[in-house]
Amino acid sequence: MNETVLQVRHLSKSFGDHEVLRDVDFTVSKGEVISIIGSSGSGKSTLLRCMNLLEKPTSGEVLFHGDNIQAPGFNLQTYRAHVGMVFQSFNLFANMTALDNCVVGQMKVLGRSRVQAQNIAMAFLEKVGMSAYVKAKPRQLSGGQKQRVAIARALAMNPEVLLFDEPTSALDPEMVGEVLTVMKDLASTGLTMLVVTHEMGFARDVSDRVVFMDGGVIVESDVPEVVFTQPKHPRTREFLARILEN
Amino acid sequence: MPNAQSGFFEWVFFFVRTYGPMFLQGAGTTLLIALTGTLVGFIIGLAVGYVRAIPCAKEDGAVKYWLLKLARTLLGVYIEVFRSTPMIVQSMVIFYGASSVLHINLPYLLAGFIIVSINTGAYLSEIVRGGIQSVDPGQMEAGLAIGMTYGQTMLNVVLPQAIRNILPALGNEFVVNIKDTSVLNVISVTELYFVSKSAAGTYFKYFEVFFITSVIYFVMTFTITRFLRWVEKKMDGPQNYAIHGSQTVPDVELIPKGGATNE
Ligand SMILES: Nc1ncnc2c1ncn2[C@@H]1O[C@H](COP(=O)(O)OP(=O)(O)O)[C@@H](O)[C@H]1O
Ligand SMILES: [Mg+2]
């Protein structure tokens, strides 16, 4: 077994009276590609967002290489650079070009010079096939192009882990492929990835492990062959039957 | 000088000829106070709007929470007071308050700057706060998610978009200020209205003089309104991006080798 990068322990999260995550335990090893599946409202996004503290857990803890990310003195900024996030709605900085989207964080968080940051940004924009659009503003790009820039922006921060929250759900069908291709490439480079997705093909073929969530708990977590062909839990079976039908 | 039988236009020409430079000087003062007041007011508005937009929860620590609460209450009072009283009254209170309570005799022009700035700041604070709230929260989340702090994301991502959104309101405030600086005549600031009143009073020719005055105000506000609209259009830029053939991508130009920056 590889070294543990992230560890989620007894994580619970409530919004008011509504308990969205209940005592979730979960470990991520270096180089693992994990798909998180489950129906809408099951707490997948909230789990990812607790892992980079966009949401504050109500109780429980998240450990990064053994360090509690909520401990006083823990450097949250550096941590977030190391554990990047790709959003369903892209969230590219609307006031900046594609290039500057990938540059600003490097300069502000990692203290890189503009020239150095631009070189790194260019390399990653090229990697996602967006080097022809460096000077384009987000509103001039298609959804698939925006998402590829957003991936380049996260990669430019030298992440150890990337969290993807339904990266293709907001895309027109013909653009899903270009983003999935980029993600498959990343998976093959050994990047640790947590991917909330409804793309069952991706979950089955690319991930090392599939996690099924329902009602704020992890119901089942196993290698894709097991989850997809012989799920242990009836709720997993129901969900897969429903989603694979379409 | 025209006499009692002279007509409207003779008087108008007379005033333009003899008081022309004074009118222009008054108009200049008006523009100067309006522009400075709007810019300083905008800076006040940005600062106040920024503070009022900081999210604060009790879990962030009691000291921070109560300090923020206190600051917000004070700023709220400032905004309410200045939005709920006429600027002409504020002028009197600030000018004579400074002299009789603080024993400071403010120079007229400086008093004008201060009054218009504080008054504009109160209006723009609310507009800035609205502008910040109109920016998609996903922008802040994306900034935080790559490790930028709240302040860094605010300055680099959210505020530039908020400012773009409120630019029309800002221009509008400038135009309003050109007109409203006229109230400063009550504390003897020699702006356009004050100059006009003096000229008219000397000859008892109010209609003739204020006809000229209104033309000058109109020209100023009309020109500026058009200019600001043009600036907004320019800032929006093209909606489409011309795709370069991959051979013509100006990579070399984009990444300066000599350390020059690409702003
Ligand atoms: N900020 C919030 N405030 C209140 N309720 C929320 C908030 N975010 C999520 N929820 C609720 O938490 C539940 C889980 O949401 P989410 O984690 O987004 O699910 P998923 O990503 O699996 O669709 C939903 O019922 C949702 O309405
Ligand atoms: Mg979700």
Model pLDDT for residues A155-214, shown as the tens digit of each residue: 999 999 999 999 999 999 999 999 999 999 999 999 999 999 999 999 999 999 999 999
Average pLDDT over residues B21-45: 94
- The pLDDT-based confidence of B199 (bands split at 50, 70, 90) is confident
Does residue B205 fall inside a structural domain?
A: yes
CA angle (B42 as vertex; B41, B44 as ends), nearest 5: 65
Dist CA A153 CA A112 (whole Å): 14
Which of A109, A134, A139 minimises the CB distance to B146? A109
Dist CA B178 CA A92 (whole Å): 39
For A171, A172, A181, B145, the CA distances from A127, given in Å and listed in that order, are: 20, 22, 11, 21
pLDDT for res B249: 41
pLDDT for res B218: 96
| Residue given tokens 């335990």 in the structure block | A25
Which of A76, A80, A131 minimises the CB distance to B249? A131
User: What is the average pLDDT value for chain B, to the nearest integer?
Assistant: 86
pLDDT at A36 over 90: yes
Does residue B255 fall inside a structural domain?
A: no
Count of domains in chain B?
1
pLDDT for res B248: 41
Which of A122, A132, A154 minimises the CB distance to B146? A154
For B183, counting Cβ atoms within 10 Å of its Cβ (0-12 exposed, 13-18 middle, 19+ buried), the class is buried
pLDDT at A135 over 50: yes
Residues 6+ apart with CB under 8 A from B236: none
CA B100 to chain centre: 29
Does residue B152 fall inside a structural domain?
A: yes
Q: Which two tokens stand for residue B109?
A: 């022009």
Does residue B258 fall inside a structural domain?
A: no
Output the CA B176–ligand 2 centroid distance in Å.
46
pLDDT for res B251: 40
pLDDT in tens, B139-181: 999 999 999 999 999 999 999 999 989 988 999 999 999 999 9
pLDDT in tens, B203-261: 888 898 899 999 999 999 999 999 988 888 887 766 666 665 444 444 433 433 333 33
- The pLDDT-based confidence of B127 (bands split at 50, 70, 90) is very high
Identify from B60, B136, B146, B155 which residue to disrupt to test chain A contact, counting A C-beta atoms within 10 A and taking the largest count. B146
Percent pLDDT > 70 in chain A is 99
Beta strands in A77-141 (DSSP E): 83-86
pLDDT for res B261: 38
**ipTM greater than cut 0.90:** yes
pLDDT at B95 over 90: yes
Average pLDDT over residues B50-70: 84
Average pLDDT over residues A118-126: 97
Count how many pairs of residues, chain A against chain B, have C-beta atoms within 8 Å.
Answer: 101
A122 within 8 A of B254, measured Cβ to Cβ: yes
Element (H, E) at B39: helix B8-53
A44 within 8 A of A15, measured Cβ to Cβ: no
Q: Count CA atoms closer than 13 A to A198's CA, side-chain side.
A: 18
Looking from the CA of residue A44, the nearest atom of ligand 1 is 22
- A154 or B5: whose pLDDT is higher? A154
pLDDT at B99 over 70: yes
Percent pLDDT > 90 in chain A is 98
pLDDT for res B238: 65
Output the CA A17–ligand 1 centroid distance in Å.
12
Dist CA A201 CA A165 (whole Å): 16
pLDDT for res B257: 36
Average pLDDT over residues A231-242: 94
Dist CA A189 CA A233 (whole Å): 32
Give yes or no for residue A46 CB within 6 A of ligand 1.
Answer: yes
Does residue B184 fall inside a structural domain?
A: yes
pLDDT in tens, B12-24: 888 888 888 988 9
Percent pLDDT > 90 in chain B is 57
Q: Is B254 on the interface with A (CB under 8 A)?
A: yes
Nearest residue of chain A to residue B249 (CA atoms): A132
Does residue B117 fall inside a structural domain?
A: yes
Residues paired with A21 in a beta bridge: A13
Does residue B252 fall inside a structural domain?
A: no
- DSSP state at residue A172: -
User: What is the average pLDDT value for chain A, to the nearest integer?
Assistant: 95
A130 within 8 A of A159, measured Cβ to Cβ: no
CATH assignment at residue B136: 1.10.3720.10
| Chain B nearest CA to A214, separation (Å) | 25
Average pLDDT over residues A40-53: 96
Average pLDDT over residues A126-146: 95
Q: Is A89 on the interface with B (CB under 8 A)?
A: yes
pLDDT for res A245: 80
Give yes or no for residue A44 CB within 6 A of ligand 1.
Answer: yes
Residues 6+ apart with CB under 8 A from B249: A131, A132, A134
Structural domain of residue B51, as residue ranges?
A: 8-234
Dist CA A79 CA A72 (whole Å): 13
Does residue B68 fall inside a structural domain?
A: yes
What is the reported pTM?
0.86
Dist CA B84 CA B64 (whole Å): 30
